[in-house]
């Protein structure tokens, strides 16, 4: 609730704070148990900072984070470490996130040792179970990461994230470094694991076709703020925020049905160190009015859980 993460801009020899980069600016949303909530937006919109703040890998500047009713920000380091068993993350780069000199057996055992999981025998049984869960073979346990393909490495990364039996998994661009041909295999694996293990996912991607395929609901971010939140069906059938409309119109379609209007966005995403006045999107929006230049729109529920931050819908 109202989560913010500002990075101070320091200048001069005395390193005086002269401003802030508002990477995450008053963000509120809920992730329901068992769902996949997507998080989309251009590079630099604050997706990764938001997730790192949520998990307290970096300390938020303000706001509240609740996990299963518990105030995550009030936990001390020891309590936080205990909770991390239940909250895991799958990173984007399966090449960089596995230690090249460690055998898969050691990579998968490591989180079990850290979390005091049974004796050696129990840990090895769990490691073999994890390999089965991600459709890899027990005989591959003594190999090193470089002996696996990109898709197989991402399976190992997923297995490591599941080692401590988490309930909530953040998937940070988990398929964007993979060949298109193996993306669907990993997405289907994530779906199967969610069904079998009752997992909740927060799924970050800039690939909207991936988001549409895997997510139940979607949060759209622009310059550190949530501009739209809706079910996947609502968002892809009838996007309401002009930014979401432009994002969706840019998705290439293999077999376009009907005429799809292409909306090209003018200019770059503004700097979060110096955001525009009023609606942060006004400099790139074709519907911009005087009100948009001076007044920031609030995120409002337009019915059926479809939330939009745009003055166009104020009168409806
Ligand atoms: Fe465009 Fe105005 Fe809506 Fe912002 S508030 S998205 S500038 S119409």
Going by CA atoms, what residue is nearest to atom 3 of ligand 1?
A: 310
pLDDT tens, position by position, 79-100: 888 888 899 999 877 778 889 9
Site to substitute for ligand 1 among 225, 276, 279, 309, most atoms within 8 A of C-beta: 279
Q: How far is the CA of 26 from the centre of ligand 1 (A)?
A: 18
* pLDDT over 70 percentage in the chain: 96
Domain containing 127 equals 3-313
Q: What average pLDDT does this structure show over 290-302?
A: 95
Give the list of residues 6+ apart from residue 234 with CB closer than 8 angstroms, or none.
304, 306
User: Which of ligand 1's atoms lies nearest the C-alpha of 243?
Assistant: 6
Pocket of ligand 1 (CB under 6 A): 241-242, 279, 281-282, 285, 287-288, 292, 297, 310-312
| pLDDT at 316 > cutoff 60 | no
Give the list of residues 6+ apart from residue 216 with CB closer than 8 angstroms, or none.
35, 36, 37, 231, 232
The tally of domains found in the chain comes to: 1
Q: What average pLDDT does this structure show over 52-68?
A: 93
Residue 92 pLDDT = 79
Q: How far is the CA of 292 from the centre of ligand 1 (A)?
A: 6
| pLDDT at 244 > cutoff 90 | yes
Q: How far is the CA of 282 from the centre of ligand 1 (A)?
A: 6
Q: How far is the CA of 64 from the centre of ligand 1 (A)?
A: 28
| pLDDT at 311 > cutoff 70 | yes
CATH number of the domain to which 186 belongs: 3.40.50.300
* Size (the chain), residues: 316
Mean pLDDT over all residues of the chain? 90
CA distances from 52 to 40, 46, 58, 59, 91 (A): 15, 10, 6, 8, 12
The highest-confidence range among 14-28, 203-217, 251-265, by mean pLDDT, is 203-217
User: Which of ligand 1's atoms lies nearest the C-alpha of 289?
Assistant: 2
Rg for the chain (alpha carbons), in Å? 21
Q: What average pLDDT does this structure show over 96-120?
A: 92
The set of long-range contacts for 245-250, using a CB threshold of 8 Å and a minimum separation of 24, is 247/40, 247/208, 247/220, 248/208
Q: Can you tell me the ipTM of this complex?
A: 0.99
């Amino acid at each position: 609730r109202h989560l913010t993460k500002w990075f101070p801009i320091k200048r001069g020899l005395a390193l005086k704070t002269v401003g802030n980069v508002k990477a995450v600016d008053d963000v509120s949303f809920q992730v329901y148990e068992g769902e996949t909530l997507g998080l989309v937006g251009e590079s630099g919109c604050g997706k990764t900072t938001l997730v790192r703040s949520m998990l307290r890998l970096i300390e938020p500047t303000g706001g509240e984070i609740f996990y299963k009713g518990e105030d995550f920000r009030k936990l001390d380091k020891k309590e936080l470490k205990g909770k991390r068993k239940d909250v895991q993350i799958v990173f984007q780069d399966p090449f960089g996130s596995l230690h090249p000199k460690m055998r898969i057996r050691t990579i998968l055992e490591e989180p079990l040792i850290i979390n005091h999981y049974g004796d050696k025998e129990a840990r090895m049984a769990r490691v073999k179970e994890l390999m089965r869960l991600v459709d890899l073979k027990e005989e591959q346990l003594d190999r090193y990461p470089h002996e696996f393909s990109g898709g197989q490495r991402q399976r190992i990364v997923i297995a490591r994230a599941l080692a401590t039996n988490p309930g909530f998994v953040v998937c940070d661009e988990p398929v964007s470094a993979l060949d298109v041909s193996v993306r669907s295999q990993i997405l289907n694996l994530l779906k199967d694991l969610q069904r079998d293990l009752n997992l909740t996912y927060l799924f970050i991607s800039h690939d909207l076709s991936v988001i549409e395929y895997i997510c139940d609901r979607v949060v759209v971010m622009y310059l550190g703020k949530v501009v739209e939140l809706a079910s996947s069906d609502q968002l892809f059938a009838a996007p309401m925020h002009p930014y979401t409309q432009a994002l969706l119109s840019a998705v290439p379609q293999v077999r376009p049905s009907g005429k799809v209007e292409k909306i090209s966005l003018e200019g770059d995403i503004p700097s979060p160190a110096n955001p525009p006045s009023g609606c942060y999107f006004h400099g790139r929006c074709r519907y911009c009015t005087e009100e948009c230049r001076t007044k920031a729109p609030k995120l409002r529920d337009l019915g059926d859980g479809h939330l939009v931050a745009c003055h166009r819908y104020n009168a409806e």
